[in-house]
Amino acid sequence: MANIVNYDLKELQTFLEGRLTRKRFQHSLNVAAEAKKLAENYGANNIDTEKAYFAGLMHDCCKELPSNELKNLAFSANLNMDKTEINAKSLWHGIAGASFVRDNLHISDSEIINAIRFHTVGRAGMSLLEEIVYIADMISEDRTFDGVDKLRKMAYQDLKITMFECIKYSLNKVINKNGFISNYTFASYNYYLSLFGENFYNKKA
């Protein structure tokens, strides 16, 4: 079992810089920084802020692999890939990234593995770290979509409601592209809605 504190962040950043495009590398740095800030905001201790930074930094480490390599890594990961994810190439990188961190960096911390694995699709019952990385990816400094500033403000006020709003945004985006939606995403939508109930959101509308 490898401890993340044993990893030199500069070395990891150099590794990613050689593996990703400049834009994707900068995004990874931004997500890591945002994840650390969110962890601090929600009272995580030092090791948890380090975990948040590490998971944010590595979340897209396999995003730009050649298609065959990406597919092989994701499909052999043994990380509960659902039938919908099999058909959605855009979702493979989270699974592949979790597998890479687990098997190549020897990280066995399930929170880190899950934070990377579910950073795109979400899931029901996410841990604090998973929520932080998911939201950090959505609101990182490089994001410019309509409504992102509202989400950035919301993220430091209520993490659960922000998760629900981010999931809704993600669902609408995929639907507009006629893309496949993971069953994990549907489950996460229903899970976060159930925390407050339909009436809560209807009153806000």
Looking at the predicted structure, is the pLDDT value of residue 51 above 60? yes
Distance CA 142, CA 117 (A): 21
Alpha-helical runs (H) found in the chain: 9-19, 22-41, 46-58, 67-75, 83-86, 92-103, 110-117, 128-139, 148-155, 159-176, 183-196, 198-204
Mean pLDDT over the full length of the chain: 93
Give residue 7's pLDDT: 77
Give residue 149's pLDDT: 97
Give residue 36's pLDDT: 96
Looking at the predicted structure, is the pLDDT value of residue 179 above 80? yes
Please tell me which residue, 119 or 44, carries the higher pLDDT value: 119
Looking at the predicted structure, is the pLDDT value of residue 204 above 60? no
Looking at the predicted structure, is the pLDDT value of residue 106 above 70? yes
Of the chain, the percentage scoring pLDDT greater than 70 comes to: 93
pLDDT band for position 44 (cuts 50, 70, 90): confident
Give the start-to-end residue ranges of the domains of the chain: 4-204
pLDDT band for position 134 (cuts 50, 70, 90): very high
pLDDT band for position 197 (cuts 50, 70, 90): confident
* Residue 121 contacts residue 182 (beta carbons within 8 Å): yes
Looking at the predicted structure, is the pLDDT value of residue 35 above 60? yes
* Residue 133 contacts residue 27 (beta carbons within 8 Å): no
In the block, which residue shows the tokens 């959101």? 201
Give residue 198's pLDDT: 66
Give residue 1's pLDDT: 41
Give residue 105's pLDDT: 93
Pick the CATH number of 4-204 from 1.10.1040.10, 1.10.3210.10, 3.40.50.1970, 1.10.760.10: 1.10.3210.10
How confident is the model over 111-120, as a mean pLDDT?
97
